[in-house]
Amino acid sequence: MILSEIESMSVHKRISLMEELWDSLCHEKEEIQSPGWHKQIIEERKALISSGKAKFLTIQELKKYNR
């Protein structure tokens, strides 16, 4: 499937396709390794929380922030 085919689908159909892809990955026999940069980001965020410098947003605040 190419990008133009995906873009021509309705939002509902693309979400359904995404759910099917995630479902197929969840049943994968082989363990999926996270990339190294995931660990780095998690460690940075844990350090911010531990130092008290982390800022937490409510869903409402996050929605305003992303506009």
Q: What residue segments make up the domains of the chain, in order of their start?
A: 1-31, 33-67
Residue 66 confidence (pLDDT) above 70: no
pLDDT tens, position by position, 25-59:
888 888 888 899 999 999 999 999 999 999 999 99
Judge contact between 54 and 48, C-beta under 8 A. yes
b/e burial code for range 3-24 (CB count within 10 A of at least 16 → b): eeeeeeeeeeeeeeeeeeeeee
Judge contact between 30 and 22, C-beta under 8 A. no
Judge contact between 34 and 40, C-beta under 8 A. no
